[in-house]
Structure 1
Amino acid sequence: MITYGSVCSGIEAVSVAWDPLGFKPLWFSENDPFPCAVLDHHWPNVPNLGDMTTLTNRIMTGQIPAPDILVGGTPCQSFSIAGQRGSLSDERGNLTLELVRIFDAIDTIRQQNGKPPAILVWENVPGILSTKDNALGCFLGALAGESIPLEPPRGKWTNAGFVHGNKRKIAWRVLDAQFFGVPQRRRRIFVVASARKSAGFEQILFEPQSSSRDIKTRSGKELQIVRTVTTPPGLRGNASSDSYIVDINRFQTVSGKTVFPTLLASMATKQWLGNQEAFSGNYYIINGNAINKPVNSGGNGIGILNSTKMYTLTTSFTHAVQYQNQGVRRLTPLECERLQGFPDNHTLIPYRNKPAEKCPDTPRYKAIGNSMAVPVVRWIGQRIQHYLAS
């Protein structure tokens, strides 16, 4: 049985995604009151350890077990273009490096117990690719075992890549939930890392075609490994020559095409609005950050789409829809759950001494917007399962 520990657990998209795979959660780590209530409601037998900054010491002292997988999406606000972009100087952004310390502690205990190294799965916004302080390079360098940040080849991090460091192998890739069976445009970067020596680790995020040097997307296009750095000739600062970066070309999906297969048929496009067909040409999508705002305030252009895909759910804005000639209405929490691939009413729980039917909408919207897209996480879990079985 594959075990995992979850940090910044939220409403546990990971457990919803991985329970059908037979993965077992050993512990959660969440301290926001409403998500904590969701965890307690759905997983009452899994301990919620609260503040993630306490985990390293608790793992090293044997108070909590060291799982096979460490998974989580640390707070994204410090890396998001929509935020202040405080990056690693932001207390929330610095939790990214705290995650590395937790991961190191897990590997230390697992080695002492004669177990193979753990696997890390981390999710965040693509804004981390372009922070001024090179936050992604700091994160990758710490995971790889370098004493300094890694520097991106040609001065800019791309949407996908691979690092082989002194300590670990690391792969990252930007994935969009709309190509995994939910009608939401949600691009997120996923990082997978491990010190395991077995071959094929990069295949967790990338699909090989005919050789180890050809990486294939689901659209049939190939991602060529274009540069392998085995010495530090200015591309990587003073990082040790025992590490190397494999930089992979950017890839584009074809507008209007379904690039990835639908993983959850129950979450198909026509079902997310309930009994009505979703966006068959008679619907308009209205971006939440354009509602009640002046026309020059942004909102991704005019903030209105005639599309089959919803804008990215966030914690700040609740998007709206207009059906045919009817009035505009905001999305319901149920629709937001479906856009993320959750079971219906996953967040409709008893809360603050009130029954589920009186659960307030505001914390539900926030928790759903903070979460991961379930089918994307399930796809990664399936890839890990295949890797560990090979």
Structure 2
Amino acid sequence: MSSRFRVAGLFAGIGGIEVGLRRAFGEKLETTLLCESWEPARQVLAAQFPESDLHPDVATLRDLPSGLDLVAAGFPCTDLSQAGRTAGIRGVQSGLVAHLFEIMQLQNKTVGRAPWLLIENVPNMLALDKGEAMAYLVKELGQLGYRWAYRVVDSRFTGVPQRRRRVLLLASKTEDPRPVLFSDDTAGLDEEQLHQDAFGFYWTEGRTGLGWARDATPTFKGGSSVGIPSPPAIWLPTEQAGRKIVVPCVEDGEALQGFERGWTLPADLGRRNGPRWKLVGNAVTTGVAEWLGQSIKAPGDFDLPSVKWERKGAWPTAAWGDGTDVWKVEASEFPRLDPYTHLTELLSLDKAQPLSWRASSGFWSRLRVSNLGRHPGFREDVAEHVPLAPVPDRKTK
């Protein structure tokens, strides 16, 4: 490896991959190019990565810097996620990944040295349309001559109390991605060691799914089933009435993704429903990228069991391929177990706001007609909270 590790980030968001890689490589990391179309995200990138070239649109990007070591692409999950439109890999937003392969094809023709390629997205793409999205990705990688491997990981392995599952797909023409992704493995998180003084859930759900998480929040999302980019709520059963159902502040959201608090402040336009929560919800957990960077620097041995897999239905949660063959790998979603930060230790409880009357009453009305939320005491505390909830957003005619 050269004295510098040079990275280009496409669909860069607020730079979660690049922040994690910077922690792994230190001063050796050089983020040469960031490409992002959404203006609030560009404001964050411009402030936090002033040394990097910033390009506004992957569709018009034709040239990548020379001498790159890695190209990262956390392409939009809008058409792949359960919270999104589920239009599939050919959808308007998720289909933008096609530009990545056009760029890499051009890179292969004009630059002798091919970099690592990292793709990040939601696990639903392994199952949606019988795994058509993953089939498309590996086909394109095969045409580029890349060997690839992928693994679903849960962000909690980095110690943050957010249950966030993501696919990491790593590919290379010259290197073997398997020791990078599969040399670390554990039996997983011991749920019995988690505290029971805080439970995260989606208040924007009710009839279909709560996203229930013990001593953690569920996955932060850029949107929800009711179209609101909002933080999950947190049930604090030991707090006083009126403070048992709260929402974290956006700075807590940044910390739950591994960023410094205040990371998205450059995009704060002073509006009540500004873009910061959506920026956080769309980000990559920095600790996940840090682990990946450390593994690229010093890969271990690949010795996990793997068996040849014939495509049928959803793809496995971990696999590798070379040419047309696919091999399923027996790997957990917890490559390692960093010291866990319990949710109440991370939360700024003095800044957490009680879930509003409008939000809590709407959630309660949906909850009552579902079979969800049966944890002892939860329904009773939601019902108690509604009449005590703050009402500044309650509109009267």
Shorter-chain TM-score: what band? Answer: 0.5 to 0.7
What stretches of structure 1 of length at least 5 have no aligned partner?
146-165, 208-215, 220-252, 259-278, 353-357
Confirm or deny that 1:141 pairs with 2:172.
no
Percent identical residues: 23
- Distance (whole Å) between structure 1 residues aligned to residue 60 and residue 67 of structure 2: 14
Task: State the distance in 2 between where 1:360 and 1:48 align.
Answer: 28
SS across alignment from 1:96: helix
Q: Aligned pair 1:345/2:262, yes or no?
A: yes
1:298 aligns with 2:298: no
C-alpha separation in 1, matches of 2:291 and 2:78: 25
**Aligned counterpart in structure 2 of residue 171 of structure 1, from 123, 129, 149:** 149
**Structure 1 CA distance, aligned partners of 2:53 and 2:298?**
28
Q: Is the 8 A contact 1:67 1:106 kept in 2?
A: no
Q: 1:377 aligns with which of 269, 273, 289?
A: 289
Asked if 1:201 corresponds to 2:174, the answer is: no
| 1:362 matched residue in structure 2 | 274
Change (3 A) 1:255 1:387: closer
Q: Which residue of 1 aligns with 2:36?
A: 30
Q: Distance in 2 between matches of 1:282 and 1:136?
A: 39
Give, in whole Å, the separation in 2 of the partners of 1:350 and 1:14.
19
Cα distance in structure 1, aligned partners of 2:285 and 2:59: 25
Q: How many residues align?
A: 283
Q: Residue 79 of structure 1 contacts residue 85 of structure 1 at CA under 8 Å; is this kept in 2?
A: yes
Tell me which residue corresponds to 1:91. Answer: 92
1:183 aligns with 2:166: no
Q: How does 1:132-281 map to 2 (within 5 A)?
A: 132=129, 134-145=132-143, 167-196=145-174, 198=175, 200-207=176-183, 217-219=185-187, 253=188, 255-256=190-191, 280-281=195-196
- Answer whether contact 2:161 2:216 (CA < 8 A) is retained: yes
The aligned counterpart of 2:234 is 321
Q: Secondary structure at the match of 2:53?
A: coil
Secondary structure of the residue aligned to 1:128 is helix
Give CA deviations for 1:82-120 in whole Å, capped at 9, x if unaligned: 222111221212122221222222233321xxxx32100
Q: 1:350 to 1:29 in 2, by over 3 A?
A: closer
What does residue 154 of structure 1 align with?
none
Please, what TM-score do these two structures have when normalized by structure 2? Answer: 0.66
Deviates more, 1:280-289 or 1:65-74: 280-289
- For residue 124 of structure 1, the aligned residue among 100, 121, 138 is 121
Aligned AA (1:47) = D
Q: CA shift at 1:335, angstroms?
A: 0.9
* 1:58 and 2:55 are equivalent in the alignment: no
Change in 2 beyond 3 A, CA 1:280/1:102: same
**What is aligned with 2:51?**
45
* Cα distance between partner residues in 1 of 2:182 and 2:198: 35
1:335–1:385 distance in 2 versus 1, CA, 3 Å = same
Matched position secondary structure for 1:217: coil
Q: 1:367 to 1:319 in 2, by over 3 A?
A: same
RMSD of the alignment, in Å? 2.3
Native 8 Å contact 2:7 2:33 kept in 1? yes
Deviations 1:244-297 (A, max 9, x none): xxxxxxxxx455178xxxxxxxxxxxxxxxxxxxx843334232323xxxx5x2
Partners of 2:154 and 2:166 within 8 A in 1: yes
Higher relative contact order (CA 8 A, sep 6+): 2
For 1:173 and 1:304, locate their aligned partners in 2 and report how far apart those are by CA, in whole Å.
23
Question: What residue identity is the alignment partner of 1:191?
Answer: L
Q: In structure 2, what is the Cα distance between the partners aligned to 1:386 and 1:360?
A: 45
Distance across 1 between alignment mates of 2:111 and 2:232: 45
Q: What SS does structure 2 have at the residue aligned with 1:205?
A: helix
Q: Which string of whole-angstrom CA distances, capped at 9 and with x for unpartnered residues, describes residues 290-315 of structure 1?
A: 3xxxx5x2233xx655x212111001
> What is the identity, as a one-letter code, of the residue corresponding to 2:29?
F
- Matches of 1:369 and 1:66, distance apart in 2: 32
In structure 2, stretches of 5+ residues that fail to align are 224-229, 301-397
> Is the contact made by 2:41 and 2:267 (CA closer than 8 Å) also made in structure 1?
no
Q: For residues 203 and 217 of structure 1, what CA distance do their matches in structure 2 show?
A: 11
Alpha-carbon distance, 1:47 to partner: 1.3
Q: After superposition, give the CA deviation of every residue in 1:205-242 in whole Å (9 maximum; x if it has no partner).
A: 011xxxxxxxx6222xxxxxxxxxxxxxxxxxxxxxxx
How far 1:14 sits from its partner (Å)? 1.7
Q: TM-score, normalised by structure 1?
A: 0.67
* 1:195 Cα deviation after fit: 0.3
Residues 1:104 and 1:385: Cα distance change in structure 2 (over 3 Å): farther
